Amino acid sequence: MTAQFSHLGHLEAEAIYIFREAAAQFRKPVLLYSIGKDSTVLLHIARKAFWPQKPPFPLLHIDTTWKFKDMIAFRDKTVRDLGLDLIVHTNQEGLKRGINPFDYTPSIYTDVMKTQPLKQALDQYGFDAAFGGARRDEEGSRAKERIFSFRAAGHRWDPRRQRPEMWHLLNGRLGVGETVRVFPLSNWTEKDVWRYIAREGLDVVPLYFAARRPTVERSGQLLVLDDERMPLQPGETPQLREVRFRTLGCWPLTAAVVSSATDIDAVVAETLGARTSERQGRLIDHDQSGAMERKKQEGYF
């Protein structure tokens, strides 16, 4: 081992430091686990931060009921193998009202099936801090995000009330009604996430690897049909294409990319050579200008 510290070593150490600060300062934290690659890295680092202890907080998954089947299987196996506590929460009201990604705009769907249930679950269990895998490189309004991101009562994010963060000092003293979102991967890029997954030999959801999958092309984006709930438009017939995902969310809102990368090395190689940003595959972000900033103000992660 050389005295020189690789950039991944540096990012890992920083994330461990953040996990430990949050665990020491907050009364009841939770890790928001969304099953994707960022959550995989987040969970792995949480284990490192408290080793040989288990992470001193449960995982929370907001299940919209529109996640890929492979994601749910992966989630359940991960939790079982590692012996972790998992809370799964769905907005039952939204489910009853039949809010789905086909008949409602992405912003309504996201609000009802993702943002609302997240707030419900945080309130119901009284969590004062929630770890998330958000990165500053993802999107414009994320670029100004703090590591400890404070939310006023009602989980509202007000950019003007955020605390300046200086040096390595993280101040987690909460005001009345405040909660906090904690982002240990703030300074990671998409490429770092994949390099780290490769370096640490982590398992990820198989959807990240190329396979022949039933797809339809809609508005220039490739959608994979994960079950029978997707209404086909006139003239659409599913075609088998070799595709994979760069980012995972609800399957009707997540576009696949044509790829032949079937293993981690190929995925890393493809990511390092990628020519478009990953959020291009996120249909909810293109809904309107400043979409992410608005979602955050409403309480979205």
CB of 144 to other proteins, least distance (A): 5
Q: Considering only residues 92, 105, 171, 260, which one is a binding residue for other proteins as defined by CB under 8 A?
A: 171
**Should residue 65 be labelled a site residue for other proteins when binding is judged by CB under 8 A?**
no
In the bound state with other proteins, the residue whose beta carbon lies nearer, of 99 and 130, is: 130
Token code pair at residue 79: 């939790």
Token code pair at residue 52: 């040989």
> Are the beta carbons of 160 and 183 closer than 8 angstroms?
no
Q: Considering only residues 30, 35, 49, 71, which one is a binding residue for other proteins as defined by CB under 8 A?
A: 49
DSSP states of 151-187: EBGGGB--GGGPPP--TT----PPPTT-EEEE-TTTT
The backbone torsions φ and ψ at residue 223, rounded to the nearest 5 degrees and listed phi first, read: -105, 135
Q: How many residues line the site for other proteins (CB under 8 A)?
A: 66
Q: Scanning residues 116 to 155, which ones bind other proteins (CB under 8 A)?
A: 136-137, 140-141, 143-144
Q: Considering only residues 98, 175, 234, 235, which one is a binding residue for other proteins as defined by CB under 8 A?
A: 175
In the bound state with other proteins, the residue whose beta carbon lies nearer, of 213 and 282, is: 282
Compute and round to an integer the Cα radius of gyration of the chain.
19
The CA distance from 222 to 203, in Å, is 25
The CA distance from 67 to 69, in Å, is 6
Give residues in contact with other proteins (CB under 8 A): 3-13, 16-17, 20-21, 23-24, 47-53, 136-137, 140-141, 143-144, 159, 162-169, 171, 173-175, 178, 186-187, 189, 191, 195, 198-199, 265, 268-277, 280, 289-290, 293
